[in-house]
Amino acid sequence: MITIKNIHKYYRKLHALKGIDLTFEAGDRCIALIGPNACGKTTLIKCILNLVTPTKGEVMISGRNANHDPRTRELIGFMPQSANFPKNLSVENTFRLIRSVRPEINDTDDELYHSFHLDRISTKTMGTLSGGTVQKVSAALAFMFHPQIVILDEPFAGLDPLASGILKEKILKEKEKGKLILITSHVISELDHLASHVIFMEEGRILFYKSVGLLLEDTGEHTITGAIMKILTQTEYE
Amino acid sequence: MNNIARIIFFDILKSKITFVYFIVLALVSWISFLLEESLSKGLLTVTYIVLFSVPLMALLYSTIYIYNSKEFITLLLSQPIKRGKLWSSLYAGVSTSLCMAFLLGAGIPILIYSFNGTGFLIIAMGVGITLISASIAFLIAVMTDDKSVGIGLSILCWLFFTLLYDAIMMFLLFQFSDYPIDILTVLLLMLNPVDLARLQIMMQLDVSAMLGYSGAVFTHFLGSTFSTILSFIFLIAWIVIPYRISLKIFGKKDIA
Amino acid sequence: MGRDQFLNAKRLLSLIACSLIFPLTAGNIHVGKGLSINTITDALQTAGAGDSIIVHPGTYREVVVISLPVVLMGIGDPVIDGNQQGDVVSVFADSVFMEGFVIVNSGRSSLTDYAGLKINKGYRGIVVNNNQFTDNSIGIFVQDAEDCRITNNRIKTSIGESSLMGNAIHCWKCKNLEIGKNHIRSHRDGIYLEFVSNSLVRDNDVAKCLRYGLHFMFSNEDEYLYNRFSENGAGVAVMFSSRINMLHNTFDNNKGGASYGLLLKDISHGNIASNQFTGNTVGILMDGGLSLSLQENIFSGNGWAIRLMSSSTENTFTMNNFLGNTFDITTNGTSEKNFFSENYWDKYRGYDLDRDGIGDVPYHPLSLFAVISEYTPAAMLFFRSFLVDLLEQAERIIPTVTPRNFVDDKPSMKPYTL
């Protein structure tokens, strides 16, 4: 589904991605992309979305080059780290705006819109909403077009526990439908029951890409958190 | 206008700043026409608005708007939408709403009090300068990631077009006043869109004086079809070239 | 005043002489196609002094020489066509009255001045009324004559070449002329007066002349009133003359590199009042004006309302309206003893706390930029720019370039209704 070939990214002198090779297959996968701050997670996601142009290498999505073909993003639903919307746009109109980008899709997924009760605030303008509510809008938008790939950048930051729960359920549900889901998070514990695979990045490189089962087996831990902590302490010693 | 441009357009129209801009333009224009005892003085005041306030507002507002729309741009770019289309929608939205504020604020009183070639010229120049300033602002905003640097550049740019360029040109004129550099000065001034608009409006408002003395030399030149076409080409170039460059940069820009 | 009455009495006398006495005392001779007399020349040969010659419609291709006092009346616009040979009509007699003719095609030469009608040296009391002069080199040429009236004529020419084109009404060394209500287009000068004194020019409409609408040279004690001078090459010129009254005239749209409404060159003791100067490149260009009084004139929409060259002194400007001019005053030097008082300047931004209609702050009508563009005309290109505005403001606060003695101490707060 997504093939990433030898991607390098320089921000002027800063070498943010140092040769990333990854392949994500379609179906029943929820991949947790984790790593310390400034390890290149967000840059990698932005490369997939073509928000960032790789200095070298390419991202292929369903056989199309993400860098040249905006249609690759028809397959992707994206929830950014901190979404900001036109302040004077109402919630309703924000949804209308995003829908208007893809007028060919009539059947939208409005599940989150309803379960987050966004219909109750549909006339409020985005500028007046709290950070958490904006995140809810952002999440609902990510799933709206039944995308094959869902990319969520720090989705739970700012969400209250109830909303986090709703979102987690939604992620699991979509995963079971055979979607490819890519999540980044600082808080690894949040991913414990979601992730089927884990990518660990450090300083612009992939440290490993394993299924959760294999990871737990290798480390002898019961949770992803534990496994990661163990690996990290091991690398520290080495 | 496509859907995104329309949404941006209405978004800006609803914002207080364009409304204040509209109110200020309308107040100043109406007051200058109502209170000045002669029409030509009213037109002069409006000319000063077109030459000084309009570019400042359009430059600053467009620059700030682009910086403030960063997340919105990110949001839309994660949708299957071409970058070029988004950028042009942004430009269309910003420039249309600024032009609307100008046309409704200053354009209506101008047309009511001076429904003739001069009135239309002043309005056309106001619209032209708005489009040019927005275009330059887009270039500044896409080239600098730092908002305060960008706003600083916009103000510098405005100072350059309204003041520094004239100061340099005037200095050169006095330095080389022994040489026949009238036409050269005209041509160099025409490279600055604010001066270009000023000269065109002056050709209407101060035609008697412009016809005087050796002034007749450049009146002859400025009034000619050739220079009208040249002015038009320069104005279009000032709109198109900065915008095209900004578009090209935006096409490859990393949305951080 | 006494002179005027004297003039009027004389004019009245000549009028009576021409139009009243002759028809009563003398016979009528009819000229026309199919009549026994079919040329004007034949009629003049048979006529006696005081006869009336009545000319019927038709084109008369002849050169008419009038050598005795007669009345020539055209009925239905008879045309006298000079066929481009010399003067079409020449007058060698006193008290000739000529009316109702269309006089065309005088000779054209760059060496000799040919005219549609020429009044020759030493004659007096000639009236030229209600004729049309077309395509003549000079329309009416009055040479060393007195007490003549040139009224209600329409004069124009289509001669384009300036060396062959003469003045519409050209007067040389005359006295007591009245030139009134003529309609003049497209000659070199509209009305040219050289060594002409005690004469009156009024109610003429002069436009589109190549050079001046009205041109005084070495002429004293004349007046011109209620004339309109539009779109002439250079406007009206009054040169080397004194004691000229210029009242109630309109000077408009005289535009161009060397154009002005009114040029005053080395003249003195004139009175310029109640005139209107509109849309001229320069309203009044005064070069060597001495003791002129300008009051109650309107200057509106001119490039420069007044250009006062430094050789002009002791002129007074009072109660004039300055409205919507690009520059109100400019000078190439410092103003020496010119007085401005109680004028209305629309650029004045002062206040009137005591409400006496006079601004409490003196007004300096000479702007920095007017002075700058006087020395470097190309600086006009920067006019109305932010830069010039700033300089202008600075100059108002700390004057460095503009002479301080250019000042109206009592600027009017309101425009005068003139």
Write out pLDDT tens, residues A49-58: 888 889 999 9
What is the C-alpha to C-alpha distance for residues C59 and C77, in angstroms, rounded to an integer?
Answer: 9
| Three-state DSSP class for residue A84 | coil
The residue with greater pLDDT, B141 or C23, is B141
Mean pLDDT in residue range C108-116: 89
Q: pLDDT tier at A207 (50, 70, 90 boundaries)?
A: confident
Specify whether C257 is located in the same domain as C108.
no
pLDDT in tens, A120-160: 999 998 889 998 999 999 999 999 999 999 999 989 888 89
Question: What residues make up the domain containing C150?
Answer: 1-166
Q: pLDDT tier at C328 (50, 70, 90 boundaries)?
A: very high
Question: Which of C144, C166, C188 is the endpoint of a domain?
Answer: C166
Specify whether C159 is located in the same domain as C259.
no
Q: What does the H/E/C string look like for chain B? A: CCHHHHHHHHHHHHCHHHHHHHHHHHHHHHHHHHHCCCHHHHHHHHHHHHHHHHHHHHHHHHHHHHHHCHHHHHHHHCCCCCHHHHHHHHHHHHHHHHHHHHHHHHHHHHHHHCCCHHHHHHHHHHHHHHHHHHHHHHHHHHHCCCHHHHHHHHHHHHHHHHHHHHHHHHHHHHHCCCCCCHHHHHHHHHCCHHHHHHHHHHHHHCHHHHCCCCHHHHHHHHCCHHHHHHHHHHHHHHHHHHHHHHHHHHHHCCCC
Tell whether C387 is covered by a domain.
Answer: no
What is the pLDDT at residue A236? Answer: 67
What is the pLDDT at residue C273? Answer: 96
Mean pLDDT in residue range C169-197: 95
A100/B252 touch (CB, cutoff 8 Å), yes or no: no
CB contact residues (below 8 A), chain B span 90-149, against chain A: none
Find the range with the poorest average confidence among A125-134, B5-14, C346-355: B5-14
What is the C-alpha to C-alpha distance for residues C263 and C195, in angstroms, rounded to an integer?
Answer: 18
Q: pLDDT tier at B216 (50, 70, 90 boundaries)?
A: low
Facing residues of C194 across strands?
Answer: C172, C217
The residue with greater pLDDT, C154 or C368, is C154
Find the range with the poorest average confidence among A178-187, B17-26, B28-37, C1-10: C1-10
Q: Check residue C20 and report its DSSP letter.
A: I
Rounded mean pLDDT of chain A? 87
Mean pLDDT in residue range C54-64: 94
Helix-helix angle A91-101:B3-14, to 10 degrees: 160
CA distances from A155 to A73, A165, C394 (A): 19, 11, 60
- Write down which chains contact chain C via at least 3 CB pairs under 8 A: B
| Three-state DSSP class for residue A154 | coil
**pLDDT tops 50 at residue C381:** yes
A89/B7 touch (CB, cutoff 8 Å), yes or no: yes
Residue in A46, A71, A82 nearest the CB of B80: A71
Mean pLDDT in residue range A9-33: 87
DSSP E strands, C23-177: 28-31, 52-55, 59-60, 64-66, 71-74, 79-81, 89-91, 97-99, 102-104, 115-119, 127-129, 132-134, 138-143, 149-151, 154-156, 169-175
Q: pLDDT tier at C1 (50, 70, 90 boundaries)?
A: very low
Find the angle CA(C272)-CA(C278)-CA(C282) to the nearest 5 degrees.
Answer: 75
What is the pLDDT at residue C259? Answer: 87
Q: What is the DSSP string of C295-329?
A: ES-EEES-SEEEEE-TT-BS-EEES-EEES-SEEE
Interface residues from chain C to B (CB-CB < 8 Å): 255-259, 279-282, 301-304, 323-324, 326-327, 346, 376-388, 390, 415
Mean pLDDT in residue range C104-121: 91
Q: pLDDT tier at C398 (50, 70, 90 boundaries)?
A: confident
What is the C-alpha to C-alpha distance for residues B182 and C381, in angstroms, rounded to an integer?
Answer: 9
**pLDDT tops 60 at residue C3:** no
State both tokens at C253: 């749209």
Specify the residue for token string 């994660």.
B78
What is the pLDDT at residue C416? Answer: 92
Q: pLDDT tier at B96 (50, 70, 90 boundaries)?
A: very high
B41/C324 touch (CB, cutoff 8 Å), yes or no: yes
**pLDDT tops 80 at residue B215:** no
Q: What does the H/E/C string look like for C329-371? A: EEECCCCECCEEECCEECCCCCCCCCCCCECCCCECCECHHHH
C303/B173 touch (CB, cutoff 8 Å), yes or no: no
The residue with greater pLDDT, A229 or C213, is C213
What is the pLDDT at residue A90? Answer: 86
ipTM value > 0.95: no
What is the C-alpha to C-alpha distance for residues B217 and B222, in angstroms, rounded to an integer?
Answer: 9
What is the pLDDT at residue B187? Answer: 85
Q: Tally the domains of chain B.
A: 1
Q: pLDDT tier at B213 (50, 70, 90 boundaries)?
A: low
Neighbours of A100 (CB within 10 A): 15
What is the pLDDT at residue B212? Answer: 67
What is the pLDDT at residue C20? Answer: 47
| Three-state DSSP class for residue C166 | coil
The residue with greater pLDDT, C390 or C250, is C250
What is the pLDDT at residue B234? Answer: 93
Tell whether C190 is covered by a domain.
Answer: no
Q: pLDDT tier at C21 (50, 70, 90 boundaries)?
A: very low
B79/A102 touch (CB, cutoff 8 Å), yes or no: yes
Question: Which of C166, C183, C201 is the endpoint of a domain?
Answer: C166
Q: How far is C52 from chain B (nearest CA, A)?
A: 52
The secondary element (H helix, E strand) that includes residue A201 is strand A197-202
What is the pLDDT at residue A189? Answer: 81
How large a percentage of chain B has pLDDT more than 70? 94
Q: pLDDT tier at C24 (50, 70, 90 boundaries)?
A: very low
Mean pLDDT in residue range C218-231: 94
What is the pLDDT at residue C12? Answer: 52
What is the C-alpha to C-alpha distance for residues C400 and C386, in angstroms, rounded to an integer?
Answer: 20
Q: pLDDT tier at C11 (50, 70, 90 boundaries)?
A: low
**pLDDT tops 90 at residue C103:** yes
Partners of residue B79 in chain A, C-beta under 8 Å: 73, 98, 101-102
- Write down which chains contact chain B via at least 3 CB pairs under 8 A: A, C
Per the CB < 8 A criterion, the answer to whether B138 and B243 are in contact is yes
Find the range with the poorest average confidence among A26-30, B45-49, C65-69, C92-96: A26-30
B189/C381 touch (CB, cutoff 8 Å), yes or no: yes
Q: Length of chain A in residues, anyone? A: 238
Q: pLDDT tier at C14 (50, 70, 90 boundaries)?
A: low
pLDDT in tens, C292-327: 999 999 999 998 999 998 888 899 999 999 998 989
CA distances from B207 to A102, B189, C234, C336 (A): 55, 18, 16, 30
Specify whether C108 is located in the same domain as C240.
no
How large a percentage of chain C has pLDDT more than 90? 65
Per the CB < 8 A criterion, the answer to whether C304 and C332 are in contact is no
Locate the domains of chain A by residue range.
Answer: 2-237
What is the C-alpha to C-alpha distance for residues C249 and C220, in angstroms, rounded to an integer?
Answer: 18
Give the number of beta-carbon pairs within 8 Å between A and B. Answer: 79
Q: Tally the domains of chain C.
A: 2
Just give the CATH number of A2-237: 3.40.50.300
The residue with greater pLDDT, C140 or C347, is C140
Q: How far is C302 from chain B (nearest CA, A)?
A: 6
- pTM, two decimals, is 0.80
Find the range with the poorest average confidence among B40-44, C49-53, C126-130, C186-190: B40-44
Per the CB < 8 A criterion, the answer to whether B195 and C385 are in contact is yes
